[in-house]
């Protein structure tokens, strides 16, 4: 989460007029994360999160994301409830941005997660993958192989400003993934979260209390979702893979949905794809920082180190 678009108390009150939420007790920005603008809201009737969606999200995709969240919530997963106004409307505009209001869920991230946390994350992910079997909607992943090529074209002219070695590494990874991605075409597919980092999983004590930020959800390989989370949560601060955490996450996943031999064999390739995806989006954000935004731009080079590790370990 982050804040790119500032909302004043007067603008908030006007936004809340169609709801029956009582007087505002507290309203403050949430500065964690990097994609959208988020505010914590406490009123007489409860606590909520106000989200304003920024440039990367396409407004036409919002009904899909909200329908997915509601479907998963009804399946018993710890997902925020999207709040309707007095006319049963869920999508609004605020400061020229699409906006929603959702229930606030208790908990805090375990960052970095422990091996046991990784087991629970893997199990929760598999439960989501099972829960979407009867979800009829789909969404193309615009941040898969073709999207990586598009992002690379935008970033490569200035990528050397971040690190002189980046242009060569990006081109090498694109060539490798373009050559090998077709190997995974028969893997099981469905709706995936596609962004299950530690800060999108909240814990209350030792139990997961909330899964948040579904705004990259799309149709793709289930094992790719796992690969994203492995890369996000199972490397240490020096970007070395922690085998115990990786094993625990896979074990947790297998508790709910057993991975096939083909899926397990594909994980190294899928992890390299996941690393390039986040390297490119972080690099794009690093090169296109918005003045005045309350956001900490994440370092693209963390994913350079992960790619180099995966190249060496799985070569």
Q: What is the pLDDT of residues 298-307, one digit of tens each?
A: 889 999 999 9
* CA 284-288-293 angle, 5° bins: 120
Q: Return phi, psi of residue 133, to 5°.
A: -60, -30
pTM of the model: 0.95
Residue 296: pLDDT over 90:
no
Which CATH architecture is the domain 115-314 placed in?
Alpha-Beta Complex (3.90)
21: number of Cβ within 10 Å:
17
- Output the CATH code of domain 9-103: 3.30.200.20
Q: Burial of 52 by CB count in 10 Å (0-12 exposed, 13-18 middle, 19+ buried)?
A: buried
Given a cut of 80, is residue 55 above it in pLDDT? no
Domain with CATH 3.30.200.20 in the chain: 9-103
Per-residue confidence (pLDDT) for residue 111, from 0 to 100 = 95
pLDDT at 1 over 50: no
Which is it for the CA torsion 231, 237, 241, 243, positive or negative? Answer: negative
Query: Is the pLDDT assigned to residue 169 strictly greater than 90?
Result: yes
Q: Quick one: pLDDT at residue 3?
A: 65
Domain with CATH 3.90.1200.10 in the chain: 115-314
């Amino acid at each position: 989460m982050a804040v790119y678009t500032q909302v004043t108390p007067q603008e908030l009150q006007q936004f809340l007029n169609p709801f029956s939420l009582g007087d505002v007790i507290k309203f403050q920005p949430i500065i964690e994360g990097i994609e959208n603008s988020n505010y914590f809201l406490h009123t007489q009737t409860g606590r909520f999160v106000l989200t304003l969606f920024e440039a990367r999200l396409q407004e036409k995709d919002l009904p899909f994301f909200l329908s997915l969240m509601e479907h998963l919530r009804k399946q018993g997963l710890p997902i925020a409830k999207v709040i309707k106004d007095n006319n049963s409307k869920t999508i609004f505009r605020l400061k020229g941005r699409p906006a929603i209001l959702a229930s606030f869920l208790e908990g805090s991230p375990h960052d970095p997660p422990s091996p046991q946390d990784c087991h629970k994350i893997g199990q929760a992910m598999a439960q989501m993958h099972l829960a979407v079997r009867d979800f009829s909607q789909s969404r193309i992943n615009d941040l898969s192989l073709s999207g990586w090529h598009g992002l690379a074209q935008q970033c490569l002219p200035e990528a050397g400003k971040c690190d002189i070695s980046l242009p060569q590494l990006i081109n090498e990874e694109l060539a490798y993934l373009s050559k090998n991605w077709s190997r995974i075409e028969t893997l099981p597919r469905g709706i995936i979260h596609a962004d299950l980092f530690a800060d999108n999983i909240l814990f209350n004590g030792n139990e997961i209390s909330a899964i948040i930020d579904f705004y990259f959800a799309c149709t793709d390989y289930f094992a790719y979702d796992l690969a994203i989370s492995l890369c996000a949560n199972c490397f240490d601060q020096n970007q070395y893979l922690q085998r115990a955490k990786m094993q625990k996450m896979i074990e947790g996943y297998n508790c709910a949905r057993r991975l096939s031999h083909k899926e397990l064999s594909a994980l190294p390739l899928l992890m390299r794809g996941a690393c390039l995806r986040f390297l490119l989006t972080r690099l794009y954000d690093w090169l296109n920082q918005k003045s005045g935004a309350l956001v900490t731009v994440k370092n693209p080079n963390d994913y350079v180190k992960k790619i180099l590790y995966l190249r060496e370990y799985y070569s």
